[in-house]
Amino acid sequence: MRYLYTLAMYLVTPLLVLRLLARGVRSRPYPRRWRERFGFFDAPGFTGSLWVHAVSVGEVNAAEPLIKALQLDYPNAPLVVTTVTPTGMARVHQLFGDKVFHVYLPYDLPFAVKRFLQLTRPRLVLIVETEIWPNLYFACRRRGIPLMIVNARLSERSMRGYKALRGLVRSSLSCVRLIAAQSRTDAARYRLLGAAAHKVRVTGNMKFDMPIPDGALAEGAAMRAHWGKRRSVWIAASTHEGEEQAILEAHLHVLTRLPDALLLLAPRHPERFRLVEHSARSLGFSVATHSVEGVPAPSHQVFVIDAMGQLMPFFAAAAVAFVGGSLVPIGGHNVLEPAALSTPVLVGPHTFNFEEITRSLIQHGGAEVVTDSERLGHDVLRLLRDPAKCKLMGQAARQVFDRERGAVPRTMQLIDTLLQE
């Protein structure tokens, strides 16, 4: 099956290149450094590196505390961080600068994987969350490079997709030394896919260990003072196509009862910043953007956060946070960022990417589910008009966040064991 898989990869490679070019029309960084996708880049000139792969922004954020722990415990080991998306690359540079070596993950083609491993010479590979690449996994085993999946999660939807290739997936997982799963449910799903039971450990979710940026609360308080402490403010973060229109219509509903209300709107992808801004203006809103105005004035009704990695102060400033990717079947995004700042959370019905975390927040009263886009405005308005309820929800959300911390130290113990072996 692996030979058939490799043949299929070669056959679809022209389509992958065309996709890079097409994405480049909307986002200029996409076609840049395209040679890296085939394993061609300048040799960094080191050996014995620790390699962390994180697909995009969410995975990079999840890996941040682990990478910092690796830097602290193994200061002499070069760190390689790979991503798939330019937004992930930008987040790596924002967090770590030149303290890590960033390169794009090559396509899962034997020659590209071989060249990549020859240039980076890793002594340990850490795959964040869910990335099963058969040729990469087999290449690591042939070279005796231990490979570990950290913060491993597997949604019901992903498991169904992998089942069609169960034989290939099972043989790929046989190349993995350890799987550090987020939850018992994730661990059970990996075992159902064929992972050996003794290789699977439950270590918890590293996202709970994410650092809260210094000054986020103070910046949030300063913004609140700027636009008025009594002003009703809510944030819609990491939104996708198909959600912004519903969010803007929800804000129209909120304004009927709270005419001074402010919506902070943060689209997930940079190439959509301008489009979302235009959509808000076309509906008659008074709009400001982070790149131009910096912070909204009292006269602004919608503030578009057209910047990456800047959400935490805005979560701290908002009374309610809606986390996107959940009104449409994307699977939702990180609900822990607002929870860490004691901000009550709203999500749509599609949260399979964060099902355990979301379920925990809901069960403990820190989050609520908006059943559909038509309910969003009603639910936001209800919470904005009930500060006592918001405070209780925010406290409950923060308690869940604090209680679940500790996954990174548990994961580091397993990493230490592999490196000692």
Tell me how crowded residue 40 is: count the other CB atoms within 10 A of its CB: 14
Beta bridge partners of 399: none
Sequence length of the chain is: 421
Quote the CA–CA distance of 250 and 374 in Å, as a whole number. Answer: 8
Quote the CA–CA distance of 384 and 260 in Å, as a whole number. Answer: 12
Residue 166 CB-density burial (10 A; 0-12 exposed, 13-18 middle, 19+ buried): middle
According to DSSP, the β-strands at 302-304 and 262-267 are: parallel
| Distance from the first to the final alpha carbon of the chain | 31
Quote the CA–CA distance of 38 and 111 in Å, as a whole number. Answer: 8
Q: Characterise 238 by phi-psi region: left (phi > 0), alpha (psi -120 to 50), beta (else).
A: left
Q: Characterise 366 by phi-psi region: left (phi > 0), alpha (psi -120 to 50), beta (else).
A: alpha
Of these residues, 36, 59, 243, 356, which one is catalytic?
59
Quote the CA–CA distance of 177 and 175 in Å, as a whole number. Answer: 7
Q: How far are the Cα atoms of 15, 105, 161, 255 from residue 8, in angstroms, in the given order?
A: 11, 19, 17, 53
- Lookup result for tokens 């580091």: 412
Quote the CA–CA distance of 236 and 240 in Å, as a whole number. Answer: 10
Catalytic site includes residue 59: yes
Residue 6 CB-density burial (10 A; 0-12 exposed, 13-18 middle, 19+ buried): middle
Q: How far are the Cα atoms of 106, 195, 243, 358 from residue 327, in angstroms, in the given order?
A: 32, 33, 6, 14
Burial 247-265 (b: 16+ CB within 10 A, else e): bbebbebbbeebeebbbbb
Which sequence positions are flagged as catalytic? 59
